[in-house]
Amino acid sequence: MKKKVAFYTLGCKLNFSETSTIARGFTAEGFDRVDFNEVADIYVINTCSVTENADKRFKTIVKQALSVNPKAFVAAVGCYAQLKPQELADVNGVDLVLGATEKFKITDYINDLSKNDMGEVHSCEIAEADFYVGSYSIGDRTRAFLKVQDGCDYKCTYCTIPLARGISRSDTLGNVLQNAADISAKGIKEIVLTGVNIGDYGKGEFGNKKHQHTFFELCEALDEVEGIERLRISSIEPNLLKNETIEFVAESDSFVPHFHIPLQSGSNEILKLMRRRYMRELYADRVKRIREVMPHACIGVDVIVGFPGETDEHFLETYHFLNELDISYLHVFTYSERDNTPAATMSAVVPKSIRHKRSKMLRGLSVKKRRAFYEKQLGTTRTVLFEGENKQGYIHGFTENYVKVKAPWDPELVNTLHQVCLKEIDADGLVRFEFEDAAIAHGSVSA
């Protein structure tokens, strides 16, 4: 009988793209892929180390796997596996830990699936992670995550990603375009471009530090690939989001009006302590330019609260800056100390109780911002791509500008695009609508 393998992914879209690529490697070796809650011979956990919570969740996930099959072989890969391989290897039940350069060769490290007395570690010095492995997700979700770049040359004082993933490097333009065409040929309607620092695309494209192409040139080329209905840009640094890219997206038929731009703090003093490469004025300018050419665009923001040295005045500066900014939602991160980062040794540590209080305030602001953005969209006609999951009798989808809608479950809607008129916001904060497609709207079917 074929051996069975299951996967669990922690963290970002980039991790999802890499898990999917690793999974295809197992399939090529004759394994059958099953869900993580099913009995498998090997469980692979792709780890994250951006936050403290991601670290803590790892033990819980290992226990979850072994509760389904106590004899299963458990392997850990990813960022946490690179940063703290021995710590993962010491977790009860873990058999194999692979670092940044080894994870894509995982099947080479599996001679048999017998449990080990101690976790076996194979990890490199991060300086050796200087080559590029292309990845994309397929079959896991309605959208595909297409990796175009890896690593980061920035030195933000709170971040472990350069230690976990190495220097900035990019896929070749030809390979990105081929992967995009392959995804489109499989019937996937939306591609999300992902990487660690995608605005730095082109650096290290052919193994050198120079930029062979720019992110703008990547967007131009992808816009010409036939069959792609939607292209969505994931998180991009404000200093690397150029006006030419914003204006190009505004005119594009395939790139959607949705930007996710990390801010991290609305205080210039804190931004300097973080070693960010911009000030709040540049951020405000990026938002202003997007609104000028795409008034209906969705703009998401990453922000960190409780960074060392963040006083009440600094936090209120951030709060008021965001409150006045015409953005659509926030992703709020509570600062957590990460080993081997400059921020971990900084003085003026913010008590955790205050960090959580500030986080709660910004999460409340995010709810307010999202609601206001949704209300502005009511009465407009948008295109929805429906997802593939039945959630309590409903199917969900997203408009091109990232408004989440819901409708009574209908399997025929899965992975289809439809014109809808956005009507009202329900108790869950989602938008109800009416189909405008002639083929569906018989009798004005409403959701």
Q: Mind listing the pLDDT tens digit for each residue in 323-367?
A: 999 999 999 999 999 999 999 999 999 999 999 999 999 999 999
Model confidence at 441: pLDDT above 50:
no
Q: What is the pLDDT of residues 356-415, one digit of tens each?
A: 999 999 999 999 999 999 999 999 999 999 998 888 899 999 999 999 999 999 999 999
Q: Which of 106, 99, 132, 103 has its CA nearest to residue 26?
A: 106
Residue 416: the pLDDT is 93
Helix crossing, 280-293 with 243-251: angle to 10°?
Answer: 20
Residue 35: the pLDDT is 95
Residue 57: the pLDDT is 87
Place 141 in a pLDDT band, splitting at 50, 70 and 90: low
Please list, in sequence order, all residues whose beta carbon lies within 8 angstroms of the beta carbon of residue 183, skipping any fewer than 6 positions away.
Answer: 136, 138, 144, 146, 191, 228
Exposure string for 407-443, b = 16+ CB within 10 A, e = fewer? beeeeebbbebbebbbeebeeeebbbbebeeeebbee
How far apart, in whole angstroms, are the C-alpha atoms of residue 176 and residue 218?
Answer: 9
Per the document, the length of the chain is 447
Residue 447: the pLDDT is 39
- Could you write out the DSSP letters of every residue in 14-40? HHHHHHHHHHHHHHHTTPEEE-TTS--
How far apart, in whole angstroms, are the C-alpha atoms of residue 131 and residue 204?
Answer: 9
Model confidence at 422: pLDDT above 90:
yes
Exposure string for 287-304, b = 16+ CB within 10 A, e = fewer? bebbeeebeebbbbbebb
> What fold is seen in the domain 4-124?
Rossmann fold (3.40.50)
Q: What is the pLDDT of residues 58-77, one digit of tens each?
A: 999 999 999 999 999 999 99
Cβ atoms of 425 and 379 closer than 8 Å: no
Q: CA angle at residue 367 from 363 to 369, to 5 degrees? A: 110
Q: Fold match between 126-256 and 257-376?
A: yes
Mean pLDDT value across residues 114-118: 80
Model confidence at 442: pLDDT above 70:
no
Mean pLDDT value across residues 422-434: 91
Task: Find where tokens 């922000």 sit.
Answer: 303
> What fold is seen in the domain 126-256?
Transcription Regulator spoIIAA (3.30.750)
Residue 399: the pLDDT is 97
CATH number attached to the domain at 257-376? 3.30.750.200
Place 439 in a pLDDT band, splitting at 50, 70 and 90: low
% the chain with pLDDT above 70: 96
Phi, psi of 358 (to 5 degrees): -65, -40
Q: Dig out the tokens for 212 from the structure.
A: 């062979």
Select the highest-mean-pLDDT range: 97-111, 136-150, 300-314: 300-314
% the chain with pLDDT above 90: 79
Model confidence at 177: pLDDT above 80:
yes
Residue 117: the pLDDT is 78
3-state secondary structure of 98: strand
Residue 440: the pLDDT is 58
Q: What is the pLDDT of residues 251-303, one digit of tens each?
A: 999 999 999 999 999 999 999 999 999 999 999 999 999 999 999 999 999 99
Q: CA angle at residue 443 from 439 to 445, to 5 degrees? A: 75
Cβ atoms of 227 and 191 closer than 8 Å: no
How far apart, in whole angstroms, are the C-alpha atoms of residue 332 and residue 329?
Answer: 10
Place 446 in a pLDDT band, splitting at 50, 70 and 90: very low
Domain segments of the chain: what residues? 4-124, 126-256, 257-376, 381-435
Cβ atoms of 52 and 273 closer than 8 Å: no
Q: Give the single-character DSSP code of 117.
A: S
Model confidence at 444: pLDDT above 80:
no
Q: Which of 194, 149, 208, 150 has its CA nearest to residue 173?
A: 149
Residue 55: the pLDDT is 65
Q: What is each CA distance from 58 to 87, 280, 394, in whole angstroms?
A: 11, 36, 31
Place 134 in a pLDDT band, splitting at 50, 70 and 90: confident
Q: Which residue has the higher pLDDT, 51 or 420?
A: 420
Residue 388: the pLDDT is 86
- Could you write out the DSSP letters of every residue in 380-430? -EEEEEE-S--BTTEEEEEETT--EEEEE--GGGTT-EEEEEEEEE-TTSP
Neighbours of 275 (CB within 10 A): 14
Question: How much is the mean pLDDT over the chain?
Answer: 92
Neighbours of 367 (CB within 10 A): 12
How far apart, in whole angstroms, are the C-alpha atoms of residue 232 and residue 234?
Answer: 6
